[in-house]
Chain A
């Protein structure tokens, strides 16, 4: 019987094609937005996950301040670390190697242009430097790495060399950092991808030199640690926290520092992305709600327009439930068709964004097109349609045949 109701509903929709299409547009815009956003942010999440996984599971990042903002957190924090904190941590049991950096924003002058950029002062003795290099995942494209004994020398990221200033910076060129002249000895390989946002726009100088030009004898902004045995990482994190609490005289729960593993950094990122995703999808859902109201409006119009037909069907034996079904299926169909179109266009937008990202060298951003998203989108749009049709359908079902026939 439902199959017959389906056919009747379809006939009715096809009768008012323009109106049906206009109503469908209201739904498909919402579904399109939801699908595109979910597909992209899920893709982004996957991409970030895969990139962060390259860092490895044996790393610990310690930064001053309570906010878990990753390696740059130290710069924004009110509490500070000094070399003493670093010294205290170096010897924690289970730590294999470590590095500490001092980061500050400075005025960079090249030719006639001056820009504000972040400058990273990092250890250049061979052992610490190699660890820092793998930690920050950079390689040299042109020129060489900084080496022990370098003083007014600098390594810069690919983007810093090629895109920050009008004129490209080459190995051997001179740049000024807060007025002090530095020779560019190395340019990093382009990282691209999402990490490129952090790694390609970077200026690296020896930590000791940074202390001199920024007149900062002791402060450090982050500490990177590598554990000997990745399985022990949680235990080492606890030891690090314990040591630092004692050293800084703070109680448990009141730490003015943050200890994160790369797993936790991913978690932090996921949390932020989750919030962004929720807000965007929330906005898209509002448009879907508006689409639902559009369906309701169309269905009320249809009930008013077809009052007599409802009377006819009732006079030939249609129960209230039959009338309700016919109208509910009709509105559910409006929703579902909108959902299918929206899903296709939404995926198209996701795919397009993926291709645009590829143009910018971000290869890891793949629009997510998992089955749960596709089925979910269609199911959801059907539910929106059917819900929007409930009240109009109930009105239709409750019509008295005598009154309806008189129309």
Chain B
């Protein structure tokens, strides 16, 4: 049985105008991510992988082509409508962790729930549970500056799960971490995929990291040059 597509990019172009010149960051990409898949997007810097991630994460809309999320075309939505889609369906994990420095770990995890109008009690409870899951139950009241890099990234993982999204989008999640913490973070991603059945899109330039995925899409010059299937993951 073929699984249904959760995110589908159809001939997606993204063109930036820089002065007189037009720069094509994506050149007609086709990408089909199925429900529950673990896909890595790989490529050197300047290959367009960040732009591709922005498209997959509904952070930006294409210049040409279509993006379907759960079968619904989101390529022409307004920014606020996209925000609503992101808040519900997609959880982000960034290389820079991107936690709000004024908020505690728990409050950071609660943030996406605020924008979905979830009431305070439930927010608190769910955030505490998620932080416990990433083994930070003891540190829910710490601010990001009081946490190590690995701990901050775990807070970010917890935050990405706040609204129980179907898709987790991780952009170089281990780029700022040492190899030991990197392994922990990757383990969490694997767990999310296997146990929570989340669809995971991992953007990385690191081949070792990419190996955890079911499928690796190699990007270069704004095009997918190779698709590599991993039948046996490491």
Contacts and interface: CB of A to CB of B under 8 A. Distances in A.
Contact of B83 (A4, A14, A320, A402): A320
Interface stretch (A69-77, A106-114, A306-314, A348-356): A306-314
B84 A316 contact: no
Contacts of A317: 83-84, 86-88, 112, 115-116, 163
B103 A400 contact: no
A11 B84 CA distance: 24
Nearest to A406: B50
Interface residues of B, number: 29
Nearest to B111: A316
Nearest to A309: B100
Interface in A288-330: 308-309, 311-322
A402 B102 contact: no
B231 interface: no
A94 B81 CA distance: 81
A135 B94 CA distance: 86
A284 B162 CA distance: 49
B37 interface: no
A215 interface: no
21 contacts: A1-B114, A8-B102, A11-B103, A15-B102, A309-B100, A311-B98, A312-B98, A314-B79, A315-B59, A315-B86, A316-B111, A317-B83, A317-B84, A317-B87, A317-B163, A319-B80, A321-B80, A400-B60, A401-B59, A401-B60, A402-B60
Interface in B59-99: 59-60, 79-80, 83-84, 86-88, 92, 94, 98-99
Report, as a range, how many residues of chain A touch the other chain.
20 to 34
Interface of B: 54, 57, 59-60, 79-80, 83-84, 86-88, 92, 94, 98-103, 111-112, 114-117, 120, 159, 162-163
A315 B108 CA distance: 13
Contacts, number: 70
Contacts of A313: 100, 111, 115
A309 B79 CA distance: 17
A316 B102 contact: no
Contact of A318 (B83, B94, B162): B83
A12 interface: yes
A374 interface: no
A5 B84 CA distance: 17
A401 B98 CA distance: 13
B115 to A, nearest CB: 4
